[in-house]
Amino acid sequence: MSTTRRTACIAAALAALLAVASRGMAWSPADLGTVISMQGTLVRDKRAADAVGWGGISFGFTGDNVRTLRWFGVVHASLFGGNTFDAKSAVFRAHDVPALTVVGPPELARKLVALPDGAKVQIEGVIDRRSRTMLLDVVQPLE
């Protein structure tokens, strides 16, 4: 096989590999996560969450707070741009406990853990629906 022909074969193989790799890396906007903003009340259990909000969801945590579970009665939820129509399906998994696992950042996770029951809070962040994890951006008490 001539050098030119060998070079052409290698180039073709590399191109094929790149094509396969790029196909495997195909992504959609949903893969980047779902930006969400929620308002609601932190409470002690599911029953209370269902009572104070339209629906109760639970937050789990990682690290030192891996055994902590916070219940949240959601009264409002919207996706990026203010879309409320698709927000429920993003956050509400009544049968999953926790519905969302907070994966950081640590200071906001600690802030969410430390807020008392009864606190009205605005929580914002990015949700990965497949892993049901949430990266916090805002934990803001409302009163």
State which residue, 92 or 104, has the beta carbon closest to another protein.
92
Whether the CB-CB separation of 133 and 110 falls below 8 Å is answered with no
Whether the link from the prior residue into 98 is cis, omega within 30° of 0, is yes
In the block, residue with structure tokens 């600690």: 110
State which residue, 90 or 139, has the beta carbon closest to another protein.
90
Q: How far is the CB of 86 from another protein (least distance, A)?
A: 8
Separation between Cα atoms, residue 79 and residue 104, nearest integer Å:
19
Q: How far is the CB of 8 from another protein (least distance, A)?
A: 47
Whether the link from the prior residue into 29 is cis, omega within 30° of 0, is no
State which residue, 62 or 122, has the beta carbon closest to another protein.
122
Applying CB under 8 A, which residues contact another protein? 39, 41, 53-55, 74-78, 84-85, 87-88, 92, 120, 143
